[in-house]
Amino acid sequence: MKEFLCDAVTLSILGVFLFNCISLVNAENATESSELCFPTSIGFKDEWPFHIDHGYLPDSQDIVNPVFELYGLGKDQPFTLDYRNLNTTPDSIPFDSESPTKFIIHGFGNSLNDSVWITDMRKALQENGDFNIVLVGWDTSFPSYVQAVCNSRVVARLTVSVIEMLQEKGLHLYDLHLIGHSLGAHVSSYVGRLMNSNIGRITGLDPAGPWFDTFGVGARLDPSDAKYVDVIHSNGDFLNFYGGFGLLKQCGHVDFYPNGGKKQPGCTDGVGGGSETLLGSFFSGTTEDVEEAVLSAIGCSHGRAYEIFIESIKLAGSCEFRAFPCSSYEDFLDGRCIDCGAEGCNRAGFHASPELQGGKQFLLTHSSSPLCSKSVRVTIIPSEIANKLIGTIVLLLKGTNGEDLLTLVYNTDIHMQPRTPWRVVKPLSKDIGDIESGVITYTRRGFFDRIKLRISGLSVDDMHNGKRYITKSRFRFKSRQPVRLDLLKL
């Protein structure tokens, strides 16, 4: 993890230079292709859709040197699969043909030795099911992100060789699940295509964005790569001073966008975020673990995708990352998308299902572990006379299991039209059970705001169990005067 985050600093700084100096994939400027062949007769051409100017081609397999570690059911020590000598792999390897198989493939700057999240995911899988697990490690060290992009095809081809060997041991492709983070998501894509899209499932965890945001579907993760492709977007934006390491565009049968998919709560991100963290530590006099804090800040949102996936394994049964289909994040926050239809709401992470709602999905999470949250939609209906409020509205919800304070609007203009529902979606910090009552408070901003807004109705929708709570009381918004509400369950 540290290696990726360190490299991300330099990558952010050089991002604009790289994009200006190196031609990206473009069918119109494709030139005569060249080819590079390795001792195993793996040939790669730089023709469309992989045309890259300045002569970038994949390194040889000896330079890329991927590592494949097989963990059998309940095993804590791996069996190394040597891609150079797969024909001599013994029959006694710890592989159970009756159990599903998971491949975990990391991205740029990660390694099997230093990336804690890979171990955490592997252990979470082992503790929650019977799986054969293969960790795929490869050299993605900086400074050549461009070379790593090219080398991803080498990793994919050698991964296919390992899969074909495991097929001889009884592996069924419909039981195969590739889980790839960043560049690893696109490696999974190439593997899927080389296996004629017969793999059961591919999960893309914030697929890498730089370069790939201009690639066509033939050179990046796409729904056609497997029977089912699910994607979590956590840092999807153009590469900039504050991150943007992921891909925002849809590239699966279902695409989950936690907190909008660009930036995650609790994260600062990129060189800007790392600098802010460093300065904050300096002025506060906190120097202990400052390096770790700065590095964590840089790639925080990009790594949130695998954190969500890991938690979705661990929290199964207690909290699910339920998502809601919507055309945009803005519409979702405005409470226009709380119905999942007849197919039912899908779940981001391990329990995503092709039998549930597909397409573009949104959800809210907490800023730190546990990330999984339950959300509510609050609806306020003004009376005939409505005004523009300027200030903050907070709602204290009290339930059978506790209470939670929601900030509906903070220090901003609030436009409410007469008899027109005003809605907002907010996450609960904890499960408060069935809602029984609430206290709503409006605090004006500025001395001259004397507004007294009449409210004819208020309701709270629990977006995770479908329950609705309403108040039959009419009340007024008057600054700094709390209003107690009895909420009845419909």
Q: Which residues are catalytic?
A: 182, 206, 302
Burial class (CB in 10 A: 0-12, 13-18, 19+), 311: buried
Give me 307's structure tokens. Answer: 């954190």
CA dihedral 163, 165, 167, 171 (to 10 degrees): -70
Short-list 321, 292, 301, CA closest to 309: 321
Half-sphere exposure of 439 (CA within 13 A, CB side): 8
Residue 22 has a CB neighbour count (10 Å cut-off) of 13
**Side chain identity at residue 42, one-letter code:** I
228 within 8 A of 354, measured Cβ to Cβ: yes
What is the phi/psi pair of residue 396, to 5°?
A: -95, 115
DSSP type of residue 259 = T
Residue 13 has a CB neighbour count (10 Å cut-off) of 12
Short-list 1, 236, 201, CA closest to 118: 1
Half-sphere exposure of 302 (CA within 13 A, CB side): 36
**Side chain identity at residue 440, one-letter code:** I
Distance CA 426, CA 395 (A): 11
Distance CA 213, CA 221 (A): 11
